[in-house]
Amino acid sequence: MSGTKEIGRAMQGPRGTRDLYPAEAARRRWITERWREVAVRHGFEEVDGPTFEESDLYAVKSGEGILGELFQAYSGKSPDEVERVKATGRAPYAMRPEFTPTLARMYAARAAGLPKPCKWFQIGPFFRAERPQRGRLREFLQWNVDLLGGEAGSNLNEYDAEVISVLAASFASFGMSPADIRIKIGSRRAVLAACARYGAPPHLYGPDDLSPSLLRLLDDRLKITPDEFERRAVELALPDEFVKYCHPVDRAVVPLDATVSDIANIFGVSLAQAGEVYADYHQSGGLSECIRQSGFAHWCEYDSMVVRGLAYYTSNVFEAIAEGERAVAGGGRYDNLVKLFGGPPTPAVGFAMGDVVLANLLQDKGLMPSDAELMGLVGQTPDVFVLSNGDEGAEKQVRPLVASLRRGSRAPQDSGLRTQDSLHVRHSYKATKNVGKLLKEAAQIGARFAVIVESATEATVKDLRTGEQWADRVPIGDVGRRIAELVRGG
């Protein structure tokens, strides 16, 4: 009759996606609200774009091959689109794998009217078609923080430092310290200079960019054996001097707060030579100085191994790395992308952080709050739990009282996000009238107050956090006011 058939099993969600029951949803909310709070505190404004985009948007940025890594989509209602997909296997849309193309498109479309610089963040779902594994799902959340444009003559290192500050502040906000995670900064310009200095073959770099094959090798350095690295370096015909410069066993890591003698130790050079390197790292207006001014230098270090794999970065790049070389976030400067999408030449810097690796790391470090704590942290524990003492007249008052406390007394035109005196109220749906059991239920869900309706007209209030004595009986109509007083008082 209904055109449906019954199925005999509980269906699963698609492989590599998540069902968020209340505890998991609270965890997501906790993470996304902290991301948001940190971005807002640094003066970034929220934006968002469509969850799916035209496939061309990604092909323009990364080449047609990228579509093989994405979930492609088409309208089942459009015979045209269905026919095109059947003929070519290529769909007109793709579920977004990253935000940067959307961001560049949005900035390009309104560049003239936007503030300079333009500070945007975004939080939302992203998708990739790869095989799911620990830390990698096919649907995940991502936080994007980007700073685009700027007045002529502004120091771009200040912008890079501001974005890196947001990244470091977010880790602090999750309870981490520099011992837990390092922000490693690399320089594409330094690699380009080395290409020129050591005579790398011209097909491996241009005036402003490194070839995808060279980038891939450099980005893979720490994931492959030194032998494998050397084999691939020979394949690319890299000169010995360049191979030595970028060899994974010769990694140079220089903390941003390193002294001259630290640098002498790291590079095995004289203090005089180290002084020159130090001066180079610490020139006025340089990235180091800008990051030091932000107060986050102790989270950061230069690392010659960091180049990032994506083609579109143009200068400084950075990664947040936890133990075991886990990359929790990555970003860098991409000064050519807005122009690629039809906008004016626009300097830009940004990073992205996914929720899956972050949540695993917090879990491993013991920094993920318990389920009960999370409910409190995201504002989902009840203010009040209403029960009756079992008296029939009292029982009849439970639901109307619950409803009235939830409504509160505010005028409907008040437009604050959280109304002043409307309360988060629950009651038991269980048949039991046992006051002890009901109080236990109230405590279990973390309710702040219990209201026990004692008769058709009166109730008592108990503060479950302090365990404070029963107050005098109050008229049922005054319960809301009494609780407001208690909240203000404590």
Contact 251, 303 (CB under 8 A): yes
- Give the β-pairing of 118-127 and 45-46: parallel
Stretch touching its own copies by CB under 8 A, among 185-193, 243-251, 291-299, 474-482: 291-299
Nearer CB in complex with its own copies: 5/134: 5
Round to whole Å and give the CA distance between 319 and 331.
Answer: 6
| DSSP structural state of residue 431 | S
Stretch touching its own copies by CB under 8 A, among 58-66, 233-241, 269-277, 448-456: 58-66
Q: What is the per-residue binding string for its own copies in 194-223, x denoting contact by CB under 8 A?
A: ------------x--x-xx-----------
Nearer CB in complex with its own copies: 60/352: 60
| Interaction of residue 379 with its own copies, rule CB under 8 A | yes
Q: What is the per-residue binding string for its own copies in 334-373, x denoting contact by CB under 8 A?
A: -----xxxxx-------------------------x---x
Least separation, in Å, of the C-beta of 487 and its own copies?
15
Tell me how far apart the terminal alpha carbons of the chain are, to the nearest angstrom: 59
Residue whose entry in the numeric block shows the structure tokens 């001014």: 293
Residue type, 167: L
**Binding test (CB under 8 A) with its own copies, winner from 74, 229, 299, 334:** 74
- Quick one: which of 182, 196, 202, 191 has its CA closest to 245? 191
| Interaction of residue 488 with its own copies, rule CB under 8 A | no
DSSP 3-state assignment of 383?
coil
Nearer CB in complex with its own copies: 200/264: 200
**Binding test (CB under 8 A) with its own copies, winner from 80, 125, 283, 393:** 125
Nearer CB in complex with its own copies: 238/338: 338
Contact 227, 247 (CB under 8 A): no
| Interaction of residue 437 with its own copies, rule CB under 8 A | no
* Rounded (5°) CA angle 410-412-417: 75
Query: Within 13 A of 419's CA, how many CA atoms are on the CB side?
Result: 15
Q: What is the per-residue binding string for its own copies in 244-283, x denoting contact by CB under 8 A?
A: ----------------------------------------
- Quick one: which of 287, 338, 330, 291 has its CA closest to 148? 338
DSSP 3-state assignment of 461?
strand
Round to whole Å and give the CA distance between 51 and 95.
Answer: 6
DSSP 3-state assignment of 263?
helix
**Binding test (CB under 8 A) with its own copies, winner from 165, 187, 315, 460:** 165
Contact 45, 177 (CB under 8 A): no
Nearer CB in complex with its own copies: 107/274: 107
| Interaction of residue 154 with its own copies, rule CB under 8 A | yes
Q: What is the per-residue binding string for its own copies in 4-43, x denoting contact by CB under 8 A?
A: xxxxxxxxxxx--xxxxxx--xx-xxx--xx--x--xxxx
| Interaction of residue 120 with its own copies, rule CB under 8 A | yes
How far from chain centre, in Å, is Cα 203? 36
Nearer CB in complex with its own copies: 263/291: 291
State yes or no: cis peptide before 117, omega within 30 of 0: yes
Least separation, in Å, of the C-beta of 274 and its own copies?
27
**Binding test (CB under 8 A) with its own copies, winner from 382, 388, 442, 448:** 382
Round to whole Å and give the CA distance between 353 and 164.
Answer: 12
